[in-house]
Structure 1
């Protein structure tokens, strides 16, 4: 599911424009740059191969605002290394990797969220490199280290995280709430749809945004560690969704889609939003005076949002023990352990660092620290290929629940559809 790429680039100018911006970027050479710092003084030591110099392709999908920094980072690596990385921004990473890698025309490494791991490992698009790494997973937060592994294989190295947190408008909110009850008291005061003000803007129809509450009382969508992996219709999951219907939906705009929910807060017309770090650029452009904190606790429960970890994957081409593989591995290890790269990404794009020395260093901005705390509340999205069949039926069920349909019935219908698809 490619929704997180859409979300990363999604402003409030409209869904169509956002999608066009996301998938309309043409593939381009990104190996150039102005040779600026890019954080070259903080990378991991000892990752340079003693063999011949190599040249490797690295693919990624970035917004226009992120591309210049990526070019600078690649140029910084090329300037200080004997190896050369040729970067390219790819408009449809799933489509391009699934066609190019089997044909032997793909990159040595590519950047994407961790939940591709199970599917891509099963299909032979990526490989494990556990035995040849010069970087320890202990250098990363526990969530990131977990996400970099699938079925006993280290399939890539992590560099940023994402999840949803509570964003509050300081015009309406004097003090960030610690509980849903505190949050609800503010929403009741602010919510006045007749005057275009709302208590909350939260993209309700997306299971990713609702995951914190579906999991809050012991429920789950899908969990390979459970005897019954599918938890969509479990009583605890239904309880979490019902909680959102009772406590959040009455204070939201009447369209559950991303754009109207995100717009309400971004236009200064809502007290709270539940959204991710990609949202901050929009809020900054709109001039909203906001704060970010981890999600508040419901009575008797604890929010557990899904987290996404961005990896530099080890493509199938890295099976070959050649100079290009050495170049790619050297670049990835340098990039993910470079403190300055992570700090700059946090400051400029709201990225959540996962390198322990940065994530736990105590010098992140308040907004990024809020998202970082929210990451600690949650756990990585399942990377098992079976999860691909879960998203759409749950989305349909959530839409029904938002529109007043019986939650238990809607979630049971979703569970039946998922099991049928699995079979």
Structure 2
């Protein structure tokens, strides 16, 4: 009986398991479902014949690009080594600086990778420019294997442009030396901030990068507002009443307890130095807190009265570049690697444990076995929805940032958001 390569690879997450699999390397890729026996007694031999034909296909080599932190890189290299040892194909991984610049120059020139890893919000622009392609018809992975937000983010304009493996968003981080119990409502959070906040003694209630539209999205969306939604007749929602209400809510409930600079660094550093009760930040922030020795917890965002926080989420995809339109050994290598990587439970569990990665494979994301801080971020991901991948969103970020900065500094929120909307519509025209 011939063994299914995907079965081998699915159980392979780290290089340490290679020895046990040495005898299984080089076997074919085929469906794990056995063909129905038609009574001729030939189903097994027919399956083996098909397997032999698939196994005789030439081995391929494919480039895979990614941009990782020092903590993440060794794990990724071990994963690729494990794949290469167990598969007849070879993946050549490369850690790339300035991914956007490199992909937009290398892919059109035919010098880029078969697949690269980045957040899903590139999808619309890259698909329009022909840098990536849809591969939905050829995949053996069902999108139902992933969380709903991840499956949604992997698609643009009817095309499955990549496969997802992790998520990120902002959640509530609290200092356990200051906060006895994480708040579930903004009212509870405000009560704690009011008690602790004392800027004359370098004590603050909250550190949150207010001027960043991504960080403020949970509150801008909390009462039915939105920055941009391509499915709506009025795609731009920056200046609608519900969005303005959400930003005003953040101004009223959070700004009084924050340092007086809305930029990322001053807001992030005050909590990292142990001088704030709360922070609203993402999983990338945890390495800083660990280095500083902060005793922290992570939970989903608290609920405002009459609303529900809905933060933007980013879903990391392995994208299919335009060269994957061509059938051949290299395309087969890239597709097998991507499908293996995103469905490998051990890889996702290890990433969660070692780097704080938020899994999107349902069997891991809903297992109940995640570290507490990762679970907090996973719960926050469930509150939100993916950032727009439409290229028009690129014109939204900066005007909204300017409007949020004005709002933080005491300017009229409605006027600031209306000015931003006028600028965005002018840029679209």
TM-score by length of structure 2 reads 0.88
Tell me, what secondary structure is at the counterpart of 1:259? helix
**1:63 partnered with 2:69:** yes
Aligned with 1:203 (options 162, 186, 209): 209
**1:326-357 CA distances to partner (integer Å, 9 max, x unpaired)?**
00000000000111111111111111000011
Residue in 2 that maps onto 1:82? 88
> Superposition pairs for residues 2-17 of structure 1, below 5 Å?
none
Alpha-carbon distance in structure 2 between the residues aligned to 1:79 and 1:190: 55
* Structure 1 unmatched ranges of 5 or more: 1-33
Residue in 2 that maps onto 1:220? 226
Residue in 1 that maps onto 2:38? none
**1:72 partnered with 2:78:** yes
Alpha-carbon distance in structure 1 between the residues aligned to 2:231 and 2:72: 37
Residue in 2 that maps onto 1:363? 369
Alpha-carbon distance in structure 2 between the residues aligned to 1:46 and 1:61: 32
* Structure 2 unmatched ranges of 5 or more: 1-13, 22-28, 32-50
Task: State the Cα distance separating 1:64 from its structure 2 match.
Answer: 1.6
Aligned with 2:387 (options 375, 381, 388): 381
**1:124 partnered with 2:130:** yes
Residue in 2 that maps onto 1:138? 144
Task: State the Cα distance separating 1:36 from its structure 2 match.
Answer: 3.5
Runs of 4+ with deviation above 4 angstroms: 45-49
Task: State the Cα distance separating 1:403 from its structure 2 match.
Answer: 0.6
**1:292-330 CA distances to partner (integer Å, 9 max, x unpaired)?**
110000011000000000000000110110100000000
Residue in 1 that maps onto 2:35? none
**1:291 partnered with 2:297:** yes
**1:172-196 CA distances to partner (integer Å, 9 max, x unpaired)?**
1111101000000000011000110
Residue in 2 that maps onto 1:147? 153
Alpha-carbon distance in structure 2 between the residues aligned to 1:252 and 1:137: 41
Residue in 2 that maps onto 1:168? 174
Aligned with 1:353 (options 331, 356, 359): 359
> Superposition pairs for residues 247-396 of structure 1, below 5 Å?
247-396=253-402
Residue in 2 that maps onto 1:109? 115
**1:177 partnered with 2:187:** no
Out of 202-211 and 49-58, give the one that drifted further.
Answer: 49-58
Tell me, what secondary structure is at the counterpart of 2:183? coil
Alpha-carbon distance in structure 2 between the residues aligned to 1:399 and 1:252: 13
TM-score by length of structure 1 reads 0.89
